[in-house]
Amino acid sequence: MPAQKPVPKGRLKRGRGIDMASTYTSCLIHCVFSTKGRRKTLSADLRERLWPYLGGIARQNDFVALSVGGTDDHAHALLSLPATVAIAKAMQLLKGGSSKWIHDNFPTHSDFAWQEGYGAFSLGVAGVEDTIAYIARQEQHHQTTTFEEEYLAFLERHAIEFDERYVWG
């Protein structure tokens, strides 16, 4: 049996003397967030530019937006987050950065704001393709389902307890 190397100070020796040198994570989050008061302020022209902009915010902050889409009153983003970026931080960056960008680039939207809260729902790698397709077909989906119905279904599907009096702000 070969001689084992001494373990550097601060590292734990596990099993056969092999330690974890790096951190590996898979943190896939489907985020859903609405315009303030669910006002229908995201026109098709604005959305066409906003979705890529949200992807750029993610890239600038070391996470990945695998898909971004939505309708005139809400957005969906499928995010891949590294261990160093908390969900709350990612949402703060996306919502804050995009709100500022809308104010700076769309003078008629000076009163634009996102709703304070958001939904963040975890998924496994096997759910990525279906989630990307779901986000891509938001326009069609909302011809038969309201945002409120969709959001409550997400909460129920993920077994999140809620009081409907406080869901809508």
- How much is the average pLDDT of 138-160? 93
Gap between the Cα atoms of 75 and 150, Å rounded:
12
- Angstrom CA distances, 14 to 2, 3, 19, 21, 64, stand at 17, 15, 6, 12, 33
Q: What is the pLDDT of residue 16?
A: 60
Contact 78, 28 (CB under 8 A): yes
For residue range 8-41, list pLDDT tens digits in order.
555 555 556 566 678 889 999 999 999 999 999 9
pTM for the whole structure = 0.85
Tokens (6 digits) for 41: 């302020």
- How much is the average pLDDT of 112-128? 96
Q: At what angle do helices 87-105 and 44-60 cross, to 10 degrees?
A: 130
Q: What is the pLDDT of residue 164?
A: 87
- How much is the average pLDDT of 47-62? 97
Tokens (6 digits) for 38: 């669910």
Neighbours of 13 (CB within 10 A): 13
Can you list the domains of the chain with their CATH numbers? 27-161 (3.30.70.1290)
Q: What is the pLDDT of residue 165?
A: 87
Q: What is the pLDDT of residue 53?
A: 98
Q: What is the pLDDT of residue 22?
A: 84
For residue 2, name the pLDDT band (cuts at 50, 70, 90): low
- How much is the average pLDDT of 112-139? 96
Q: What is the pLDDT of residue 23?
A: 85
Contact 32, 151 (CB under 8 A): yes
